[in-house]
Structure formats: C-alpha cells, structure tokens
Amino acid sequence: MYLCICQAIRERDVDAAIRAGARKPSDVFRACGKNPQCGSCACDLRQRIAQTMAHEEARPPSLMAAD
Ligand code: FES
C-alpha cells in the first residue's frame, strides 16, 4: 500500500527507512531519495513510524537479531 502517492512511497519503503534510522517523515523522504510534494502524507508517515517503532520495541531481542 502506498503511503505517499506523490512519490510512490510504500509501507515497506517506510519500514526499511525506519530500520535504517528514520524517525520523522523528512527522514523517510531522505532515506527514499525523494522530496515531499503536497505533504498530505505526513500524518500517515508519522503514524507508520510510531506503529513500527512500537512493534519493534515490543519484540524480544532474540527476534531482532534474526533480521
Ligand atoms: S502524498 Fe506524500 S508528498 Fe504528496
């Protein structure tokens, strides 16, 4: 599913950016090598970052090492 229509950034792209250290929408754009256009995806990107970070923090350390 696309989270940013303007730049065709998908959920999996956002997740990869988060794993690489992205913690805010501008980080995601930078990690994807894109620039924001309309900005209407910012709330969705923030929500995805929060959800993914919460999920990652809830994982046992042994599972994180398997990635
Ligand atoms: S939907 Fe992401 S910049 Fe427009």
Return the residue whose CA atom lies nearest to atom 1 of ligand 1: 4
Closest CA to 9 of 67, 19, 51, 25: 25
Q: With a 6 A CB cut-off, is 29 part of the ligand 1 pocket?
A: no
5 C-alpha vs ligand 1 centroid, how far in Å? 5
Q: What is the set of domains in the chain, with CATH numbers?
A: 2-65 (1.10.10.1100)
CA distance 28 to 10: 11
Least Cα distance to 4 among 37, 52, 47 occurs for 37
Query: How does pLDDT run across 30-40, given as a tens digit for each residue?
Result: 999 999 999 99
| Average pLDDT estimate for 62-66 | 58
What gap in Å lies between CA 39 and CA 57, rounded to an integer? Answer: 28
Write the pLDDT tens digit of every residue in 36-57.
Answer: 999 999 999 999 999 998 987 8
SS3 31: helix
